[in-house]
Structure formats: C-alpha cells, structure tokens
Chains A and B, each alone.
Chain A
Amino acid sequence: MHFLPASSALLLLACAAPLFAQERPLALTGARIYPIDGEPIADGVLVVHQGKIVAVGAAGKVTVPAGAETRALPPGKVILPGLVDSHSHIGGAQGGDGSGALHPEVRVLDALDARHASIQRAQAGGITTANVMPGSGQLISGQTLYLKLRDGRIIDDLLIRLADGSPAGGLKMANGTNPMRSPGGPFPGTRAKAAAMVRDQFIKAQAYQAKIARAKGDPEKLPARDLGLEMIGEALAGRRVVQFHSHRHDDILTALRLRQEFGFKMVLHHVSEAGKVAPEIAAAGVPASAIVLDSPGGKLEARDLSFDTPAALEKAGAEVGLHSDDPVIDSRHFLRSAAIAVRAGMSRPAALRAVTLANAKMLGLDDRVGTLTAGKDADFIVLSGDPFSVYTQVEETWIEGRRVFDLTDPRDRTYALGGPGAGDPRRTPLCCYTSAWDIILAANGALQQ
C-alpha cells in the first residue's frame, strides 16, 4: 500500500492541527448565553483562549482580542456551560464485588476505558464533566472519579488533577435495599445492621488515623498500611466527598445522621423521597442530586419517586442537582431531566443550575467548571434552541477550548442518534485504521477542530 501525496499532506495536517488549535483566541458571537452565575445574555459573546474562558458578555461590551478567530453563530443558537453530571456509570464503570459490603480500597479508575462509546454519547448529550461511580450494591462500593470527557487515548487523559497531582474523585456509599442481601453472608440483612457496619468501619478508620498521628512518622510505630481505612480517612479529613446513594426518606435521614456523627462531606444521590424530608436536607446544608425518571417503581424504595422532587428541594432551599445515572438515563437525555423538573415546578434558572453549577459544587470543582466565567475552563455547549425544548439538539460540545462533539460530523452524529457503530469505542487517530478512506476521514475530522 502506498499513500497519495495529497493524503500524506492531509495526514501531516491532521498531526499538526491540534498543536495549533489553542493558539488563536476564539470568539463566538450571536448566541443567547446562559452564564449561570448571571442573567442570560440575549446577544452574547464568548471568548476562549488556551483552554480557558477569557470573556463573556453582551455584544458591544466584550472586547474581542486582536487576532481572534470570530465565529458568528446563526440566529437562535444557545450557549450553556458544559453540563456536569454528578452521578454516572459511563466508561465501563465497576466497583466492589459480591465478596463483601465494604470496598473503600476499590478504584473505579482501574475499570475505565477512555474510548468507551458511552463517553462519546455523553459528549453528544453535552456533558463535559462527570462523576463516574461504582454501583450501589455495597455499603461502600469504591472510589469515584471526576472526569473531563476529553477525547483521550487512555483514562489518564480524562483525569482532573488536584493540586497535589492526585486524581479528583469521591467515595461511593449506599444504603437502603441495594446493599442489603439475604442474611448469612457478608452483607447486611437489615437497615440497622447496614448502619452499624458503616459506623464500625468509620470508627476503625478513626483509630487508624489516630495511630498514624501518634506515630509522628516513626516507622516502628506506624500501623500496617490499610488501603481501605486510608480512603475512609480521606473522607474523614474532608479531602474526599462521600457520594451517598439513598432513596427512602428514612434512609436519607440515616445518611444525614452518619454524616453528623463522623463529620464527612456528603452529597445525597437519587433521593426519591426527598420531598418528604426536604426541610431536613436543607437544614443540614447537604446538597442533593436527584434523579428524574419517566415512572416511579421498579423497586420498593422507588415507589414514591416523583417528578416533583427537584422542585420540592428547591423550595426548601437545598442545593439541588440532577444526574443521569447513565445507563439508567442515557446521557444524551440529560438536559431533558432538567426540563422535566421544570415541568413539575422547578424554576428554569434552578434547573439549569442543577445540571451545571450545583453539580460542580457537589464535586468541589466549581472553581473550574459549572459556569461561563472568565478564568474557568472553556467547557461549553452550543444548542440549536431553548435548553428545555424537545426540538433542541446539542450541536457542539467543547472541553477546554477543543471541540469534542460536532453534530455535523457523521461519526459524532451516529453517537448522538444511534445506529450501527454507536456502541463501538471511539477510534484513536492514526491507530487501527483499516483503509485510506479512514485516514482521510480522520484528517478531515482533525481539521475541523
């Protein structure tokens, strides 16, 4: 096989294009912009440069830097911050297994595939940041990861690094029926036993931490390293937010009680019956990430699940987010959850906040993402119209100034709508291509970035 000169030129461009993509500032004009931390801007300008937002404002009030590439969007387009999903299982997420109920040492990191189709579909749904978690079949099912849904080759390319270089993530916990099993094994058979097991584990972690503190670095006095207790220690120290699955109102109160006893940072998840204890959730100052499903039921504790929950939490004054729980809700319908919450009485600003800033705060990432604010990451989406309309499509998704989803690209369109190939992993440029045509397509795709 030999390359035509033209193809070779394209190939070179394909390699070169990403290097230059960030060099010029990019200004998008003519869209209605929802910055989230301020009022919507009817005729807005968004300027991004080197992966960051440089300026956001009304036309005429924003100075577009000299040398910027300006893209005037057709009328009717809407720009939102990249969506933040506070609870997802994309990428082939896995956590603890059936050998026990407590797996704080298990990392979702060790299961994820950066090129998994579900990550591509999440991009198509406008999601740019996601808390990817193990499941809820254990009291503690493992460590979660906060990911940027970049077009990465390996999972390391998607990590969000904290100041000390460690990957950002939380600790997944659950109560209610999911982590309960028939008695005799290592799982709790009742709710009270479940709470006792968690308390016991946290007390052990406190003792482990105390031993380490007493040792003052003396290797002779240090306890044997325990990966699980170490992780719970991170939660106790407030370094790792506990992401707590809880449906029934009394289970929610149990979770609040545990948090009060041990003082960890916590986000409540699913909260099917939050409407019954919304004042308690608000008073505790614990954020709640709700799920909105097309019907109640499916299990006993989701019997009273309701469209009204996000609105009830908003009215009570709680910090309320929404999540996909992908694959429970396909990431491509994430914005729809916000719209259904509006249908049931949530205010439009709160519903948009619930899929952006509220979730960013729940992950402790609101200094980087969740709003369109100068200095934050250039994560944004371009919509064809109103964010809450069924007739609106996500047209583009940008992460750190790079377009990772473009509805006009045939491959991305397949991920957005489905069809043969929508379940296949994303192909990495210059790897695994089988024909010259593939290379031309790849070069074309890279040029469009």
Chain B
Amino acid sequence: MNRAARLALLLLLTPAAASAAMPLAIQAGILYPVSGPPVREALILIRDGRITFVGPAADRMFSADHQVITAAVVTPGLIDARATVGLSGLLNQPHDQDMLERSAPVQPELRAIDAYNGGDPLVTWVRSLGVTTVNTGHSPGMLVSGQTMVVKTSGSTRDREVLQPAAFITAALGGAGLNRAEGKAPGTRAKAVALLRAELIKAQEYVRQRALTDETKRPARDLRLEALGRALDGSQRLLITAHKAPDILAALRLAKEFNLRIVLDGCADAPLVLEEIRAAGFPVILHPTMARAGEETENLAMDTPAKLAAAGIPFAFQSGYESYVPKTRVVLFEAAVAAGRGLGFERALAGATLEAAKILGVADRIGSVEVGKDADLALFDGDPFEYTTRVTATVINGELFRDGPR
C-alpha cells in the first residue's frame, strides 16, 4: 500500500475512532454509584475510557467537546459473575457450543480466552440489557471443566476488554460434575471428591518437584498440573459449583484440606448450611433467582439472596448456563426478582455490580461509578429493576453502545 492510500484509509477510519474516544458527559436524573449514596441530577464525565468526574450536575461545567447523553437512571455497568455467553452460542448448534469438553473429567488447562467469541449475538444481547462485564467460560458438567475469563461485553478480546484472561478454574461437585455412564469416573459424589483430592495431591508434588534446584530432576511441564498448582497457591481460584448441602460441605472440606481460596457457585441449598458457609468465609455466586428447580436444585428459592444478605455472606448474581431456551439468562432480571423477593433494591444492585466486582477481584477497575474507574455504565429510563423499564444505552470503557432501547 502506498503512502497516499494509507493516509486515505486512515482518514476513512478516523471518524469511528474519534467517536469512540469522544469524551462523554452523562446527565442522570438519579445516579446509583453503589460505592456511595444515590445522587440526584448527577453528572458523570468520561474521557479516555475513564470516569473523570462524578457529582451533582450543578457543581461542574464541562467543555463543548463532550457528547452529552441524558438518562433518567444511571448505574454502574452490570456484572454477570458467572456466565457462558461467548462460549455457548445463540444458535445452540454443535459449531457454536464450546462451553464443555467431555473428553476427560479433569481439564483445568482449558482456557476460556481460547474459545470466547465476543461477536456472538448473545454477548450483544446481554449488553443491550445493561451487562458490561461477564465472568464467562466453561460450564459445569465435568469435575473440572476448564477456566473462566473476565471480559467486557464490547465484543472483542483486545487488552482493554479483558480484565482477567484466566479468572477461575471451574469445578463441579455433585450431579453437575458426574459422569454416570457405565465404566466412567467419577460416577458418584464420593468418587468425584476422591478424584479431585488425588489430582490436587499430584499437583502439590508437581509444584514441589518443579522447584527443585537440580534442573535435571524437574518433571516436564504439564499444563494440567500447572493449572491446579495455581489453584493451590491461590493465584487462580477454584470456582466450585455445588448445589446440594453435602456437596457444598464437600467443597468447604476440600478448601480446608488444601488451604484453597475458593468461590462457591450455584448453592441451591445455601439456606441449609448458611452457618458453615459464613464460617468458611468464602463468597457465593448464587444460582439465577429464576432458575428452574429440579434434582440438584430442587430446593432453590427466590428469597435465598435475602437470606445470604441477612447472614452477611458476600454474594453476586449470575446468568449461569442454559442448554435450551432461553439460551442465556440476564443478571438484570435475576437481580430484579431477588430485589422483589425480600432483598431490596440497593442490595440487589450491589450484587450485580460492586459485590460481583469484589468477588471477581476486579473492583479496582469496575463495579461502581467513581473517579478513576473504567467508564462502564448502564442507562435506564426508570427503576432499573422494574420489568417495564428499558435500558436505553450502555457505556463500556467510555464507548457508547445503543443496542436498544430494550
């Protein structure tokens, strides 16, 4: 390409780039920053993808180069603390279902980032409903199914969009991690735990030997044991799906034995073992509030979020994994139903924003509307949780997305 052509191309590309980088001034009838009390008639200024001002609109002038957006209600961009969008595609055909590898029961080396398709319509769909960040990756279904990543929903996997390329290692105890086919393991709950313990012990030994001073005595690199080694030293936490009370207790027992920092996922039976969960100190990424009850999840309840809050257990909302219709749930709706079933507005909003960011370890960047944080916002024309309110726009890294109103 000659120089003139390159220049012409650059000029062609410039408007889009400029629009993405254009500073924004968001005027909110009411802003819920989550990190502090609501602000009426608020102003949020955004430049270079970051929030540069938050406060009453009356307190601050802004320059004419800002694009001005108004909304009745503004919240932090919503965070889906456990999703499969981008791996489990909209069409539900073999070519777009990458959330579960069934070739072996323990495959912690499977990275979400190697499978994530930010261009899947479901990513756009959840964004149109206020979700700006997802912790997405491999679904429950095997004992250790892979990993998750924390990524913005702006559609790609550029560095700015990916907060954590390797967020959690995903494990499942109880029914969700079993393979009941004849001759396959783990076929029972007890076998699953034994298998996982054996793998973790192998990883301990691997880590010890890899650190030997004599290089010749070190074992060859092993991606699987390396990943479990990260779970052991806490640099990549285990996200353990467990619904029945015995499975939740088994997860806590494992954490104690191996001194693991874990996050509990699902937890339909959480109200039956609240004291044990609180004492262990681990957060919960709770099953969707409207999840269907049955088998593993026969005891799930719509007021569990309220019970977790009352017990002082940190928790966040998730969309989880859906195998049929609807192909994904939406944390906006799951948090809304919890808000209406005893949790209340503010706690529900925190569970889909700042609490989620804290559990995912990304609260330094997202989860609240504060100066210096990423400019991720959800804009609404009314109470965000009311069924009849619409999401009018989202902002991700300072870029405006108008997918709706929806």
- Report A's interface with B, CB cutoff 8 A: 293-300, 302-303, 305, 307, 327-328, 330, 332-333, 336, 339-340, 342-344, 388-393, 417-420, 422-423
B385 at interface (Cβ–Cβ under 8 A)? yes
- Report B's interface with A, CB cutoff 8 A: 89-93, 121-122, 125-126, 271-272, 290, 292-294, 298-304, 322, 324-330, 333, 336-337, 339-341, 385-390, 406
List chain A residues, Cβ under 8 A from B390.
343
Centre residue among A298, A299, A417 by max chain B CB count within 10 A: A298
A143 to B370, CA, bound (A): 59
List chain A residues, Cβ under 8 A from B325.
293, 297-299, 302, 305, 328
Centre residue among A294, A333, A417 by max chain B CB count within 10 A: A294
CB of B301 within 8 A of CB of A419, answer yes
CB of A298 within 8 A of CB of B327, answer yes
List chain A residues, Cβ under 8 A from B293.
418, 422-423
CB of B387 within 8 A of CB of A295, answer no
List chain A residues, Cβ under 8 A from B300.
418-419
CB of A342 within 8 A of CB of B387, answer yes
A392 to B385, CA, bound (A): 12
Choose one: B126, B292, B389; the contact of A327 (CB below 8 Å): B292
Min CB–CB distance A177 → chain B (angstroms)? 11
A420 to B328, CA, bound (A): 26
The 10 closest A-B pairs by CB, nearest first: A418-B301, A297-B90, A339-B387, A298-B325, A297-B327, A298-B327, A293-B326, A390-B340, A295-B326, A419-B301
Tell me whether A296 and B290 are in contact in the complex, defined as CB-CB below 8 angstroms, given that A303-B91, A307-B406 are known contacts. Answer: no
CB of B327 within 8 A of CB of A342, answer no
CB of B326 within 8 A of CB of A296, answer yes
List chain A residues, Cβ under 8 A from B126.
295
Tell me whether A418 and B302 are in contact in the complex, defined as CB-CB below 8 angstroms, given that A298-B324, A339-B388 are known contacts. Answer: yes
A54 to B208, CA, bound (A): 82
List chain A residues, Cβ under 8 A from B303.
417-419
A418 to B389, CA, bound (A): 26
List chain A residues, Cβ under 8 A from B92.
297-300
A390 to B333, CA, bound (A): 10
List chain B residues, Cβ under 8 A from A294.
326, 328-330, 333
List chain B residues, Cβ under 8 A from A302.
325
Given contact pairs A297-B91, A344-B406, enumerate 20 new A-B contacts (beta carbons under 8 Å): A293-B326, A295-B328, A297-B89, A297-B92, A297-B326, A327-B292, A333-B290, A339-B388, A343-B388, A343-B390, A388-B388, A389-B387, A390-B340, A390-B387, A417-B302, A418-B302, A419-B271, A419-B299, A419-B303, A420-B299
CB of B327 within 8 A of CB of A422, answer no
A307 to B128, CA, bound (A): 12
A31 to B324, CA, bound (A): 40
A332 to B302, CA, bound (A): 11
Q: Can you name 21 A-B pairs with beta carbons within 8 Å?
A: A294-B330, A296-B326, A297-B89, A297-B90, A297-B327, A298-B322, A298-B326, A300-B93, A327-B292, A328-B325, A330-B290, A333-B290, A333-B337, A336-B387, A339-B387, A343-B387, A388-B388, A390-B337, A390-B339, A390-B385, A422-B301
